[in-house]
Structure 1
């Protein structure tokens, strides 16, 4: 059954305020979660809200009001997030990077003691809406085997980049560096579904379609050695610059909510206007997209898509028709309503 965006937003904001966030941060936090849901990326949306709130109750996540933020040069921030909820810490830092990039042309933040920050694309999209190119990278619990290995040594370590177009859909890249994001495994477990063959190996190193077996085993990197290399680079940018934990030392976000995590982010933006007029940039982007869209479709294909085009279409539909919440998510909502004394309205 589908529910309106505003109905979900109202309930979730009230829960977050009761959990300890300011009204302003609660609004932003829910906006990040809903952005995932409307884009069809349910694995990073409200399905995990209860897990985030559990961390607040247990003291393994904080409200972000005591973050240590230092501007170390005109183009760099170094940040101790103090275990702030990721959907609070990351928007704060992207806003600061945007403000600083208007002065210096570019700005990036290196963040440690971060928590899982939900939809990685949300933060580059913040910069994109300001006429900039946005970037966000983060490391994560080790769930993925390096190419040629059989042990989980690297995280799913997402790459998120966004840049604006004019006539076409804006480009929004948001990918895990594993074949599938860990969230898809967790969601399949929650909803009792199998996963596709080729996503993961079980604990004995055998291919599996059983989500629970995959959860005990390892995920596989996309693109063989190429995906592994990107996965490693994201890890190094995220933890080696900031002093966050290495992937193998990060507890699983949604299964070990009683343990603090020290996740690293590397995020920021480039101000296009410092290089060329923004409108000129958008026209050049459109020219490239025109070329791609005019490409002959391959057999069985409906044509070339721009990264983020499918999600943009899903967003438009969801904003008009609402979001389909699973029974598992509604069950979590009922528990949160009881825990935080908020009226259950679904």
Structure 2
């Protein structure tokens, strides 16, 4: 079923308001989710609405959290997310981090007691609007074994950075530390499709292309021990340093409705103007982008892309022409909407 972004944002916002989110908070979450779809990262988009609603109804997510700064210096802040929706908490962290970076040149923000916050790249993009370089990372429920093991200990622990440019799209890198985000395996399982070999192993440590077996087993780190090392670092910064859960102490978003997740995040912000005028920096970034794209291409390669460029092009296309969310996602949203008294058919 085809939607335009504003239609889907309105639907998701209205659904979230039925489980007590304020209008403002519902739009923060809705815009984050739809932004992922608009950029072609459907695994982090509106497919998450049903599980968000379920967790809110179980009372283990605070619909309108009292997000507090509980420890603060000029360059660092520790934020308590009050078990709120991760997007609401992260929005506060970005606002605080950008403000501090503008005042002091840089800022580090650690977050405890948060939940799943969607696509990390969404938050670094917000900082770029203020000529602030941003890094965002988060831990996640244990779905990935340490390299050489079979017992899940780390989450897929996403990492993102953003660099502002002038004439060109900003550079926005956003990845999971697994070969693939677990959400893509969930999406494949929902569609009844196999996954490529090398994405995951089953619970006995054997390679599998069965999405259901993969979800019962563990995803694999990208680059083998390199991805494992990055996942560990992100968990230390997001979980250990912030005081949030880490390793298996971060509760799963699916199937665990006994207590809040206690996810941790970590953000870093650098004001470009602390080093050189932002216009000069962005011109230099433009120069780098152009030089990279003009380098000699490998055989059968038509164009070299910068991180996030394909997603930015997808965003332009989908904002103009709309996009199809897929039959399975539409049906799940339709069912969730009915449960909440919101008719999705009225939004497109």
- Class of the TM-score when normalised by the shorter of the 2 chains: over 0.9
Match of 1:145 in 2: 145
Check conservation: 2:67, 2:92, Cα contact below 8 A: no
Alignment of 1:273-312 (within 5 A): 273-312=273-312
Tell me, what secondary structure is at the counterpart of 1:212? helix
Distance 1:68 1:132 in 2: 23
Deviations along 1:278-320, one digit per CA (max 9) or x if unpaired, are 0111111112112110111112322321000000011011101
Distance 1:130 1:290 in 2: 23
Distance 2:259 2:3 in 1: 33
Match of 1:74 in 2: 74
Match of 1:34 in 2: 34
Question: Please, which runs of 5 or more residues in structure 2 have no aligned partner?
Answer: none
Number of aligned positions between the proteins? 346
Match of 2:156 in 1: 156
Check conservation: 1:64, 1:83, Cα contact below 8 A: no
Match of 1:20 in 2: 20
Pair 1:8–1:47, CA change in 2 (3 A):
same
Moved more, 249-258 or 204-213: 249-258
Check conservation: 1:177, 1:221, Cα contact below 8 A: yes
Alignment of 1:166-205 (within 5 A): 166-205=166-205
Tell me, what secondary structure is at the counterpart of 1:242? coil
Check conservation: 1:64, 1:89, Cα contact below 8 A: no
Distance 1:64 1:298 in 2: 51
Match of 1:52 in 2: 52
Runs of 4+ aligned residues of structure 1 deviating over 3 Å after TM superposition are: none
Check conservation: 1:98, 1:268, Cα contact below 8 A: no
Match of 1:229 in 2: 229
The alpha-carbon deviation at position 227 of structure 1 amounts to 1.5
Distance 1:297 1:267 in 2: 35
Match of 1:119 in 2: 119
Question: Please, which runs of 5 or more residues in structure 1 have no aligned partner?
Answer: none
Q: Are 1:322 and 2:322 matched, yes or no? A: yes
Distance 2:33 2:64 in 1: 17
Tell me, what secondary structure is at the counterpart of 1:147? coil
The alpha-carbon deviation at position 209 of structure 1 amounts to 0.5
Distance 1:173 1:81 in 2: 25
Match of 1:83 in 2: 83
Q: TM-score, normalised by structure 1?
A: 0.96
The alpha-carbon deviation at position 71 of structure 1 amounts to 4.9
The alpha-carbon deviation at position 105 of structure 1 amounts to 1.2
Moved more, 136-145 or 257-266: 257-266
Distance 2:312 2:67 in 1: 33
Tell me, what secondary structure is at the counterpart of 2:60? coil
RMSD of Structure 2 on Structure 1 (CA): 1.3
Distance 1:164 1:327 in 2: 36
The alpha-carbon deviation at position 4 of structure 1 amounts to 1.6
Tell me, what secondary structure is at the counterpart of 2:282? helix
